Structure 1
Amino acid sequence: MGDFSSALSSSASGMKAQAMRLRHVSENIANTDTPGYHRKTAAFEQVFDGGTRTGEVTLGSVQLDRRELSRIYDPGHPMADETGYYNGSNVDLVVEIADAREAQRSYEANLKMFDQARQMSSSLLELLRR
């Protein structure tokens, strides 16, 4: 049963990490037009227990994308400088949509793994009852 619980916890941690990743992607998309907004990114990290890998993952700390902000020409904007430009965001919608789709598919794969492990453990318990 240890392998089943390990599979369940690994897939559950994957689902949680992908859900957090999707949250960051949605925040990026929501702030596409926010002046001065830097895109948020986070990398996955392995979970260790006593120096050994558990097979679980977690989302690491949030980092701000260091790419340059886009310069937008709009002399009437309240944040425009004397040349008429202001800093936009560095969010690329195409990249964010691709990241969202990847996170969704990874979440679904972890959900299927979770469901398979649950079904196998239920089948094993049924066999043991006989």
Structure 2
Amino acid sequence: MSLLKVLDVAGSGMSAQSVRLNTTASNLANANSVSSNIDETYKARHPVFAAELNRAMGGLDSSVGVKVQGIVESTAELNQEYSPNHPKADENGFIYHSNVNVMEEMANMISASRSYQTNVQIADAAKQMLSSTLQLGKG
């Protein structure tokens, strides 16, 4: 695999982790939201990643990148609370809290941040190797 392909793979990893960080930030921002309707209540979202084999059937190129296939909503149950005096309470006195698990989201944020950082280091190492290769040609 050429070093330029390494940069492509690291770039796709950084892009995927950026989506993951944005999704996590959205989940954390809406963690304390409430609603009077189950359908309107914010549900945690998570990106779905897949390995993408770039032109693998074409011969020499067998680099694998990351593709974001989509973002799915969590199927975990919403938190229902009886609070008849709440301004958002439904006709039965219930409000619905988001199903965002703050601890899980914080762990996702740290993991995505570290993965992004690792991809940056890989890209930097490839850049240094390319620079060293160019220096060999000068001598």
TM above 0.5, yes or no, is yes
**Aligned equivalents of 1:120, 1:74: Cα separation in 2:** 62
Q: Does 1:49 align with 2:54?
A: yes
SS in 1 for 2:126: helix
TM-score (norm 1): 0.91
Unaligned runs of 5+ in 1: none
Contact 2:54 2:65 survives alignment (8 Å): no
Contact 1:42 1:62 survives alignment (8 Å): yes
The offset of 1:66, in angstroms, is: 0.8
Contact 2:49 2:70 survives alignment (8 Å): no
AA partner of residue 52 (structure 2): V
The offset of 1:78, in angstroms, is: 2.9
Query: 2:22 maps to which residue?
Result: 23
Q: What's the C-alpha RMSD, in Å, of the aligned pairs?
A: 1.6
Unaligned runs of 5+ in 2: 35-40
Moved over 2 A (4+): 48-54, 81-84
AA partner of residue 32 (structure 2): D
**Aligned equivalents of 2:84, 2:125: Cα separation in 1:** 58
The percentage of counterpart residues that share the same residue type is: 33
Q: Does 1:62 align with 2:67?
A: no
Contact 1:15 1:110 survives alignment (8 Å): yes
TM-score (norm 2): 0.85
**Aligned equivalents of 1:49, 1:32: Cα separation in 2:** 38
Q: Deviations over 1:17-55 (max 9, x none)?
A: 101100000000000112211000112112233455531
